[in-house]
Amino acid sequence: MEIKSVILAAGKGTRMKSETPKVLHKIFEKPLLGYVLDNIKTITNENFVIVGHHADEVKEYVEKNYQNAKTVLQTPQLGTGHAVSMVLPYLKDFKGQVLILCGDTPLITAETLNKFVEFHNSNNSDLTVMSTIFENPTNYGRIIREQDGSLKCIVEEKDAPPEQKAVKEVNAGIYILDWAKISPAFTQLTSNNAQGEYYLTDIIEWGKKNNLKVNAFILENSDEIYGINSRKNLAEATRIMNTRKLNTLMDNGVTIVDPNSTWISEDTEIGTDTIIYPSTYIEGKNKIGKNCKIGPCAHFRGGVEVEDNCKIGNFVEVKKAKIGYNTNAGHLSYIGDSELGAYVNIGAGTITANFDPITGTKSKTILKDNVKIGSNTVLVAPVEIGEGTNIGAGSVITKNVGEWALALTRAPLRIIEGWVKRK
């Protein structure tokens, strides 16, 4: 069945204490909202992001990066139920299902969401809410069940009497529903509650009253619905995401020498028998081949593709670069906006000077197969070095160089005998 999503992202995010809207705060250089949109990519065919606070910035990000998503403005923000009601005009005759998620919950996985949808379908439900068990359920809506264990309603922390506050099963804030059957609820919600808001959670009771089939799907790994409300939460989510990634990589045959000091983004692929040495930081989307040695203290900034058998050593920063087979950049270098062929050697301290501060543009450095760059070279882009050419140490290369040449710029060496003694 066709599934569309509604992603709630209009709230203020006050506790972040930030000029940046909460859902645009980043983990490994990708905004929180991006994780949610990426994870539903194979599940939904159209996504509505509800925006309000800093709407323009969120809209710009969504439109630029996600063609199958549109933003819908919610002003003022009268609650989560009110937020979903904003899509009513867009989904008037929609007969499929709607998946509702929050933009500040980046740890949810596609695998879990698929299971959630399957559970909903195999139970012939009209509405399914995701729940989980928290030892400390503070601030979450509590899942209240009937004597027979079936779902009764969700009560928000601020509306809950002490006996309900003691409940540890909480609302994860993720729902899937049969739109035609449940959508009338959104015109009937009221705001008679402690926060004076239109609560999305009230659709559970509404569904029951209207004799619809309402269920809860209990999520075992509660980490997945960890929400970001503060900078501390952001750091914790980064840690959880990183641990998850390192474990997957190790399971797939990558050596991580020190998981405690290694940071690798979810969007980075690494081949077997590659070794990642300590204090390496890899953000953005990258692809690293087999049998490579990365780090210690390497920094990948995204858009990097490294073929097999390469070495990217200590204090080497790489951004938007293709690195060919068996190429080495062992020490203290910057490689940005570059294409390096196979068997290239980059001497210590080599810099690709890719940025022109006057025009504000970035240009490309191309090094063909077998190029050898001497230490402390600056390659001023745009520049291309032909196959097999060597560059002498300490050179500043501002022009293209052909194949199999030696190129160097170097002030002549002067030796003044006895100079020190005379002084």
CB of 75 to ligand UD1, least distance (A): 10
Which region among 76-84, 120-128, 230-238, 372-380 touches ligand UD1 (by CB under 6 A)?
76-84
Active site residue 25: no
Residue 9 interacting with ligand UD1 (CB under 6 A): yes
The first and second tokens of residue 319, run together, are 């951004």
CB of 10 to ligand UD1, least distance (A): 3
Residue 103 interacting with ligand UD1 (CB under 6 A): yes
Judged by CB, which is closer to ligand UD1: 132, or 365? 132
Secondary structure of residue 225 in the 3-state scheme? helix
Residue selected from 3, 8, 237, 367 as contacting ligand UD1 according to rule CB under 6 A: 8
Residue 200 interacting with ligand UD1 (CB under 6 A): yes
Q: Cβ distance 8 to 82 under 8 Å?
A: no
In the range 27-56, which residues lie near ligand UD1 by CB under 6 A?
50
Judged by CB, which is closer to ligand UD1: 199, or 263? 199
Which region among 73-81, 240-248, 327-335, 379-387 touches ligand UD1 (by CB under 6 A)?
73-81
Residue 170 interacting with ligand UD1 (CB under 6 A): yes
CB of 142 to ligand UD1, least distance (A): 8
Residue selected from 47, 132, 201, 352 as contacting ligand UD1 according to rule CB under 6 A: 201
Residue 309 interacting with ligand UD1 (CB under 6 A): no
Residue 154 interacting with ligand UD1 (CB under 6 A): yes
Positive or negative torsion for Cα 40, 46, 50, 51? positive
Residue 72 interacting with ligand UD1 (CB under 6 A): no
User: In the 3-class helix/strand/coil scheme, how is 175-202 assigned residue by residue?
Assistant: EEEEHHHHHHHHHCCCCCCCCCCCCHHH
Residue 307 interacting with ligand UD1 (CB under 6 A): no
Q: Which residue from 47, 189, 51, 32 is spatially nearest to 108, judged by alpha carbons?
A: 32
Burial class (CB in 10 A: 0-12, 13-18, 19+), 67: exposed
Residue selected from 34, 141, 313, 386 as contacting ligand UD1 according to rule CB under 6 A: 141
Judged by CB, which is closer to ligand UD1: 8, or 62? 8
Q: Which residue from 51, 46, 215 is spatially nearest to 129, judged by alpha carbons?
A: 215
Which region among 71-79, 119-127, 284-292, 296-304 touches ligand UD1 (by CB under 6 A)?
71-79
- C-alpha span between 95 and 6 (Å, rounded): 15
- C-alpha span between 200 and 221 (Å, rounded): 23
Residue 227 interacting with ligand UD1 (CB under 6 A): yes
Residue 80 interacting with ligand UD1 (CB under 6 A): yes
Size of the site for ligand UD1 (CB under 6 A): 27
Neighbours of 135 (CB within 10 A): 6
Q: Report CA-CA distances (Å) from 51 to 63, 105, 173, 302.
A: 12, 15, 17, 28
Q: Dump the DSSP string for 253-307.
A: T-EES-TTT-EE-TTEEE-TT-EE-SS-EE-SSEEE-SS-EE-SS-EE-SSEEE-
Provide the binding-site residues for ligand UD1, judged by CB under 6 A. 8-11, 50, 74, 77-80, 82-83, 102-104, 140-141, 154, 156, 170-173, 199-201, 227
The catalytic site residues sit at 331
